[in-house]
A and B are shown apart, each in its own frame.
Chain A
Amino acid sequence: MTNERLQEILARHGQSEGPLLPILHDVQRAFGCVSPDMQQVIAQALNLSRAEVHGVVSFYHDFTEEADTRPCVQLCRAEACQARGVEALVEAAEAAAGNRVRISPVYCLGLCSVGPAARIGDALHARLNAASLVKLVEAA
């Protein structure tokens, strides 16, 4: 089953130039990770070494070798959001998240004039304060 879906993704990008990143994105979205086994299949299909594929997977923050099924709240921690007080919200967010939700830092969502900002999936949230962020984390 996994292999079938993987082959489908590989076939979809067969014709494009430099297909590795688009493939890895699709795999990460479909399976929540790019496991070492999948890396081997991808390497074979693209005529690359496993080391080359592993090197790319480990270089980019978006790709992971193991799946984390917890919901993820990305909180912007870059300078503009720092200037708008995001650091003061971190503790409350982490307390609300506990082990159930993953709070991961992101460096800029492009909402720098209305921070603090967060992203859950493709949904964006801005002008956050401690209460609204905790509410988001609890609902994630």
Chain B
Amino acid sequence: MIVRISDDSLALALGADGLASAFAAAGCVVERVSSWGMHWLEPLVEVDGIGYGPATVDDVPAILDGTSALSIGPITEHPFIKPQQRLTFARAGKTRPLSLEDYAATGGWAGLRRAQAMSGEAVIAEVTQSGLRGRGGAGFPAGIKWNTVAKAPASRKYVVCNADEGDSGTFADRMLMEGDPFQLIEGLAICAHAVGAQAAYIYTRSEYPHAIAKLRAAIELAQGIIAPLHMEVREGAGAYVCGEETSLLNSIEGKRGVVRAKPPLPALEGLFGCPTVVNNVLTIAAIPHILFEGGAAEYAALGVDRSLGTKPIQLAGNIKHGGLYETAFGISLHDLVYTIGGGTASGRPVKAVQVGGPLGAYIPPAQFDLPFDYEAYARADALIGHGGVVVLDDGADMGRLARFAMEFCAVESCGKCTPCRIGSTRGVELLDRIRAGAKVLDPVGALPQMHNAPKLARTADQDIALLEELCETMKFGSLCALGGFTPYPVLSALRHWPEDFQ
């Protein structure tokens, strides 16, 4: 009997290895596949298409004789899986991550072969036609970026894959790197062919040891297919800001992960001063599908407005049915949180969701009709970011979370620009003062040489006005998204839950 169990690190964290050994000991052939992305059911066991989860070693006999109460029926018919439009994650749960055979049997390398028979210009035209925008958060059209690099006159060019997935509530990059590494490699090879790059780097986090190991093994296996392209994995070192593309480039170069001022754009002067494409994992992984015959038109037919194609959304935090949900743009938060996610894991009412990681706004249930679309979120003073949705129940203290956002920015700031480096620290102090409700005279303002500073302690309203002003300064004065977007969680928490700040 063939039993399929994921070897995704999330399944490993929940005891998948022990479970696999138990099935092997019972005489089964165990296939370690990627994860379906139904995380509340992990470790999920698949026998003849029927799923059982979350399984423990004690459940092995009942699963084998078909009497287990953990059965969820046929996995592909499950209400979490069936409505999804999986393009980037088409292989999730179905293939063995490091099997070249499985990859080729599911359409692998077809996009690369087709691209190699085309000119770089024609490949870029198809990427442009697909409407693919950067999946890392900024949403910049991939085709335009590639075109800039392709047109730049230089003898050496690079492709860099930003796999520094530091946002809390996101794990799609990790799942893709661990579950379908060849797709990422194929996407990078297509991109390198299109823009004329000789080397490709994948920069990922040291917090993802399993992803690093899988990618390195996959690159070695695919060496003959992607040659003469040089491909290498680079490991970050625990700095959140290195997810910003220019500090990521500095980090690969072996420097402090300090943000660079733009211009020059990385597309013209990027890694080691050469023209460089920097794209997120999900952007690159969408490429092989787009380069299929007719793939670009199919991709462009999905989505809404200017947000085309599919988006792998990550349901996380206090949610009953957490996991990976890939669907066309346009889905509402209400559907994501309640219909698909099943509400909170704790069973308590939803208080807020944070979309887009630590720099994303907190959105109250009253705004849950917001469609998943770059522009709609921007209009609501929020951002999609990398598509992480963190659900919080009514036990959440929004004032504490606002302070956490400022503190996180203060700790992780690269230090290059003042609004981010100093502003975040002042923000923490201000929030502490507001939350303590104490009218304390600012010690600096009290100094005799500070002639224009008020000599009376600020009221709570004045403190809040000052915080808002500080946030404005950070938003428009910071060099990158760390300082620039930290105001989103802070101001949204303040706007929607002022009672948590008293």
A→B interface (CB under 8 Å): 16-22, 24-25, 46, 52, 55-56, 59-63, 78-84, 106-115, 117, 119, 122, 124-127
Q: Give me 16 A-to-B residue pairs in the complex whose CB atoms sit less than 8 angstroms apart, sorted by A's number.
A: A17-B272, A21-B235, A22-B234, A25-B237, A62-B237, A79-B317, A79-B390, A79-B404, A80-B317, A83-B391, A107-B166, A108-B168, A111-B13, A113-B316, A113-B322, A122-B209
Which of B167, B253, B401 interacts with A18 by CB under 8 Å? B253
Q: How far is the CA of A140 from the CA of B412 in the complex (A)?
A: 28
Q: How far is the CA of A119 from the CA of B42 in the complex (A)?
A: 18
Which of A52, A106, A107, A112 interacts with B317 by CB under 8 Å? A112
Q: Which residues of A contact B234 (CB under 8 A)?
A: 21-22
Is the C-beta of B36 less than 8 angstroms from some C-beta in chain A?
Answer: no
Is the C-beta of B388 less than 8 angstroms from some C-beta in chain A?
Answer: yes
B→A interface (CB under 8 Å): 9-10, 12-14, 39-40, 42, 165-171, 174, 199, 206-210, 232, 234-240, 251-258, 272, 314-319, 322-323, 345, 354, 358, 388, 390-393, 396, 401, 404, 408, 412, 414
Q: Which residues of A contact B412 (CB under 8 A)?
A: 107
On whether the beta carbons of A60 and B254 are closer than 8 Å, the reply is: no
Which of A21, A52, A114, A119 interacts with B14 by CB under 8 Å? A114
Q: How far is the CA of A16 from the CA of B240 in the complex (A)?
A: 24
Nearest B residue (CB) for A108: B168
12 further A-B contacts with Cβ under 8 Å, apart from A113-B319, A126-B10, are A21-B236, A25-B235, A61-B237, A82-B404, A107-B168, A107-B358, A107-B412, A108-B167, A113-B171, A114-B39, A115-B317, A125-B13
B257 to chain A, nearest CB (A): 6
A112 to chain B, nearest CB (A): 3
On whether the beta carbons of B391 and A124 are closer than 8 Å, the reply is: no
Q: A18-B272, A111-B9 are in contact. Are A56 and B316 (CB under 8 A)?
A: no
Q: How far is the CA of A101 from the CA of B199 in the complex (A)?
A: 42
Q: Which residues of A contact B13 (CB under 8 A)?
A: 111, 114, 117, 124-126
Q: How far is the CA of A113 from the CA of B318 in the complex (A)?
A: 8
Nearest A residue (CB) for B241: A59
Nearest B residue (CB) for A23: B254
On whether the beta carbons of B42 and A78 are closer than 8 Å, the reply is: no
Q: Which residues of A contact B319 (CB under 8 A)?
A: 113
Nearest B residue (CB) for A48: B254
On whether the beta carbons of A18 and B237 are closer than 8 Å, the reply is: no
Which of B209, B237, B240 interacts with A107 by CB under 8 Å? B240
Q: Which residues of A contact B354 (CB under 8 A)?
A: 79
Q: Which residues of B contact A114 (CB under 8 A)?
A: 10, 13-14, 39-40, 42, 322
Q: A21-B234, A83-B391 are in contact. Are A106 and B207 (CB under 8 A)?
A: yes
On whether the beta carbons of A126 and B256 are closer than 8 Å, the reply is: no
Nearest B residue (CB) for A19: B254
B5 to chain A, nearest CB (A): 16
Q: Which residues of B contact A78 (CB under 8 A)?
A: 168-169, 358
B391 to chain A, nearest CB (A): 6
Nearest A residue (CB) for B354: A79
Q: Which residues of B contact A19 (CB under 8 A)?
A: 254
Q: How far is the CA of A7 from the CA of B115 in the complex (A)?
A: 43
Q: How far is the CA of A111 from the CA of B239 in the complex (A)?
A: 18
Q: Which residues of B contact A106 (CB under 8 A)?
A: 207
Q: A25-B237, A79-B169 are in contact. Are A112 and B254 (CB under 8 A)?
A: no
The 9 closest A-B pairs by CB, nearest first: A113-B322, A20-B254, A78-B168, A61-B238, A112-B316, A60-B237, A83-B317, A124-B13, A62-B237
Which of A22, A83, A110 interacts with B390 by CB under 8 Å? A83
Q: How far is the CA of A128 from the CA of B207 in the complex (A)?
A: 18
A85 to chain B, nearest CB (A): 8
Q: Which of B13, B237, B255 has the most CB of A within 10 A?
A: B13
On whether the beta carbons of A84 and B318 are closer than 8 Å, the reply is: yes
Q: Which of B40, B209, B236, B254 has the most CB of A within 10 A?
A: B254
B426 to chain A, nearest CB (A): 22
On whether the beta carbons of A62 and B238 are closer than 8 Å, the reply is: yes
Q: A107-B408, A110-B171, A113-B314 are in contact. Are A83 and B237 (CB under 8 A)?
A: no
Nearest B residue (CB) for A125: B13
On whether the beta carbons of A113 and B40 are closer than 8 Å, the reply is: yes
Q: A79-B317, A122-B210, A124-B13 are in contact. Are A111 and B171 (CB under 8 A)?
A: yes
On whether the beta carbons of B210 and A60 are closer than 8 Å, the reply is: no
Q: How far is the CA of A72 from the CA of B452 in the complex (A)?
A: 50
Q: A113-B171, A126-B13 are in contact. Are A63 and B237 (CB under 8 A)?
A: yes
